[in-house]
Amino acid sequence: MKVRGKVAVITGAGGGGQGRAVARRLARDDASVIVSDISERGGRETVRLIEEQRGRAAFFRADVGVESEVRELLAFAERTLGGVDILINNAGPYFHGAPFAKWMETIQANLMGTVYGTLHGIEAMRRRGGGAIVNFGSTSAVGHGFKHSSSPPYDIAKAGIARLTTTLAWLGEKEKIRVNCIVPDWVDTDEVRGYVESLTPKQCEEEGVPLPLTPLDDIADAVMDLIGNEDLAGRVLVWWTGQKRGLIPVGDLGYARLE
């Protein structure tokens, strides 16, 4: 898919992270962008940055954990810009703290927010004759007992997002709606950079922090590849920081061997 002239909706695009980077990249490539976030100030700043570069954008506040708000977000895109061709399900908070804290809030915003966006995005894309959805996972949810985060519900949600993606592969051939997922590792967002800068070199080593962090522009490039490659549907793109990104093979059993 070429994004020029298309309408894209990006959730969680109001901060200094992946959502904003992808929104700005889509706008630079001449897509019209709906920026969404729970932060009106941050979302409007993203719109300002896009318009500063002569791009076209509008803001709509939505909490992705509330289905009615996701439905209204996509309706706003259709009403304002004529439809939805691209949906980036990026929004999803990570709550620091005890491992049993904020389970339902984390799963609701991350997993169910992506589910709501995908289901209502499919409806909107059917009216356009097709489209592309990109979901965001996390390497903390890859593998069994390997590099999990300190938040079990976050990893549960991100694992569910990857499986949601693969179970919808059939939509690519049947309805020309391609659902794919990017699974990045340590990305150079404001939040992650701030955390890493608070660590000593020894703590970075103990936590296995890879340096340098993956640049936001590189994440945006990878998302654009998933949008543009019409051969990809139901695929999961994993990108460990400092390594070459790659797709999980079709038919992968989810483990290298059995004991």
Sheet-wide strand order for 32-37: 56-61, 32-37, 7-10, 86-89, 131-136, 177-184, 236-239, 246-247
CB 24 within 8 A of CB 216: no
**Annotated catalytic residue within 94, 116, 154, 195:** 154
* The length of the chain, given as a count of residues: 259
CB 159 within 8 A of CB 254: no
Contacts of 203 (CB under 8 A, 6+ apart): none
Is 94 a catalytic site residue? no
Residues 69 and 57: their CA atoms lie apart, in Å, by 19
Which amino acid belongs to residue 59? F
Catalytic residues: 154
